[in-house]
A and B are shown apart, each in its own frame.
Chain A
Amino acid sequence: MPSPLTEKQTLEIGKSNKRKYMLEKLSARIFLLCALLSVLSLLLIVGFVFYKGSHPFVAEGYSFIDFVFGVDWVPSEGKFGIFPMIVASVFATFGALIIGVPIGLFTAIFLAEIAPKSIAKIISPAVQLLAGIPSVLYGVFGLAIIVPFLQNNLGLAKGQSLLAIILVLAIMMLPTIVTVAETAIRAVPKTYREGSLALGASQIGTIFKVVVPAAKSGIMAAIVLGLGRAIGETMAVILVAGNSLIIPTSLTDSVRPLTTNIALEMGYAFGTHQEMLFATGIVLFSFILLLNFVLAKISSKGGN
């Protein structure tokens, strides 16, 4: 039988509880602060880029339309047109998707549905490690292997080309697509597979008629994430792009995507030139924002 607490003990407990509540509140604040830090960083970066990038259009009388649709980029003459770069970025990204999505999707299906555990155990970590390779190494690989390969086999004067970018980006987006798509496919209830197989469907038939459609929203998310990875990639692209300022008319043309333009020139640019590079950043950022918006739409649809 516990004896009732003395007055002094009650007081002490009250005190220690007070300290606990203080600590509780304090920790909550610290967590909040940490959480706000990322929002703050986002606001700062976006604000800074927009502030710097909008300056020429607001204060110096440049036309934004001419900027986006202009085909000449000659900073020394005050010509700032990024249309060739937008085209290059879009082509490179979608080209990479055309190669990367089927390969990534088939890999994900193989890992989730077909591969025996022992084989999946080797391939899965390999794909994930691919995501951990620094992008500059992809660029070096592209420059040392893919570029000479294209140069020799297609008889080009210069192997650095849109095609080289597409190939490097396709490899780079694989881990994102494979990992996200594999998770989506694994999340499809086992009962769907059983139901389909019990109806006399083959394994491949089951995969394409039931499993993949059921994992559709997750697979779409995988594709959009891969797209985001490709469009924002800079380092690897610089090394294999060739960086010519032309609107590409063939896969073998040397091109300069948006990211590359910023990275190449920011080091020595100043004044309007520098601000125009920030404006390039705005366009790039808008693309990525758009992708995120699409992604959010897709995943909210998948929730239903």
Chain B
Amino acid sequence: MGCMLMSTTVIERNNAEKGNFSQMKQHSGEAAKISVTDLNLFYGEKQALYNVSLGIQEKKVTALIGPSGCGKSTFLRTLNRMNDLIDGVKITGDIVVDSENIYQSNDVIKLRTKVGMVFQKPNLFPMSIYDNVAYGPRMQGIKNKKELNKIVEESLRGAAIWDEVKDRLKTSALGLSGGQQQRVCIARAIAMKPEIILMDEPTSALDPISTLKVEELITHMKKDYTIVIVTHNMQQAARVSDKTAFFLNGEIIEYDETDHIFSMPQDQRTKDYVTGRFG
């Protein structure tokens, strides 16, 4: 129990300056890259998230687990404001990334440059592998051929797929296998030089071997990036993540070190879920 308190980042609001989270008190030594406070989200009348608060630590893998429809993907998408695309979404509460309240700034482009995302199904564009990876940097205005070449190579290396595709960079990305496509998607996200990468069930459409490769990649990537991953696969959460949040019906039931969530969950519902009794 004590251990759990130690590791949970507690955020106190500075009342004098509402919305300014630069003066955060943290009871643990680690810095929170993302601090979420009292987040409520409504799809029209229907509430999907209830008072979600948690701190996501820098250069760690945080897994979000829970049964289908529990709000974990919805929560993930609040972190780079992808929910903005859906009509009738209302959000209250605060999400602070590096002391900037992302819902008070209107610069979603800057936010999404900093917070990259990898989706459930590989969603490469119908263009060449090179153009896919260079897409983001080009949108940023980088035109220099040499610079782009360098970014593409570094990104593909970073996603451990360079050796497999280096001879076919100019061929259509849609000719790759599902697992390769997903790693190119990761490379495409890396190319933006983000600090945070969100992954929405990145392996659910992949075969076991490709899944393993992506998991290895995630473990390898956490030295450079803060990673938040939604997964249905509890073994995956146990394998790749440092911290795990268990969502149920739009609420966080428990958030702790991954080891603790799986070995000695505090809440009966968490225990039932991780032992496979429901979900």
Tell whether, in the assembled complex, residue B85 and residue A196 are in contact, meaning their CB atoms are under 8 Å apart.
no
Chain A residues closer than 8 Å to B278, beta-carbon distance:
none
In chain A, positions 196-245 with a C-beta closer than 8 Å to chain B are: 196-202, 205, 209-210, 213-214
Q: Name B82-117 residues within 8 Å CB distance of A.
A: 82, 85, 87, 109-110, 112-113, 116-117
A202 to chain B minimum Cβ distance, whole angstroms, is 6
With beta carbons under 8 angstroms apart, the residue of A191, A202, A209, A214 that contacts B119 is A191
Q: Which of B85, B87, B109, B121 contacts A200 (CB 8 A)?
A: B109
Q: Are A195 and B192 in contact (CB under 8 A)?
A: no
Does A192 sit at the interface, judged by CB under 8 A?
A: yes
Residue from the list B80, B113, B125 in contact with A214, Cβ < 8 A:
B125
Per the bound structure, the CA–CA distance linking A19 and B112 in Å amounts to 68
A174-198 to B contact mask, C-beta < 8 Å, 1/0 = 0000000000000001011111111
Surface stretch bound by A, among B133-141, B214-222, B239-247, B254-262: B133-141
Bound Cα distance A108, B212 (Å): 43
In the complex, the answer to whether A194 meets B135 with C-beta atoms within 8 Å is no
Any chain A CB within 8 A of the CB of B123? Answer: yes
From the candidates B109, B113, B117, B126, name the one contacting A213 in the complex (CB within 8 A): B126
Contact between chains at B123 and A192 (CB < 8 Å)? yes
Closest beta carbon of chain B to A219's beta carbon, Å: 14
Option from B85, B185, B189 in Cβ contact (under 8 Å) with A197: B85
B183 within 8 A of A: no
**Among the listed A197, A202, A209, A210, which residue makes an inter-chain contact with B82, where contact means beta carbons less than 8 Å apart?**
A197
In contact, A195 and B85 (Cβ under 8 angstroms): no
Which residues on the A side are within 8 Å of B72 (C-beta)? none
Whether a CB of chain A sits under 8 angstroms from the CB of B176 is no
Please indicate the chain A residues that have their CB under 8 angstroms from the CB of B116 in the complex.
Answer: 198-199
Cα distance A200–B117 when bound, in Å? 10
- Measured between beta carbons, the chain A residues less than 8 angstroms from B82 are 194, 197-198
Q: With a CB–CB cut-off of 8 A, which chain B residues contact A200?
A: 109-110, 112-113, 136, 139-140, 192
Chain B count of residues within 8 A CB distance of the other chain: 25
Contact B126 A201 (CB under 8 A): no
Given the interface contacts A199-B189, A199-B192, does A191 sit within 8 Å of B112 by beta carbon? no
Shortest CB–CB separation between residue B252 and chain A, in angstroms?
A: 24
Shortest CB-to-CB span from A49 to chain B, Å, is: 42
Q: When the two chains form their complex, are residues A195 and B126 in contact, meaning their CB atoms are under 8 A apart?
A: no
Q: In whole angstroms, how far apart are the Cα atoms of A189 and B113 in the complex?
A: 22
CB <8 Å contact, A199 and B135: yes
Q: Which residues of B contact A (CB under 8 A)?
A: 80, 82, 85, 87, 109-110, 112-113, 116-117, 119, 121, 123-127, 135-136, 139-140, 185, 188-189, 192
Q: 11 A-B residue contacts at CB 8 Å? A: A191-B119, A191-B121, A192-B123, A192-B125, A195-B123, A195-B185, A198-B112, A201-B139, A210-B125, A213-B127, A214-B126
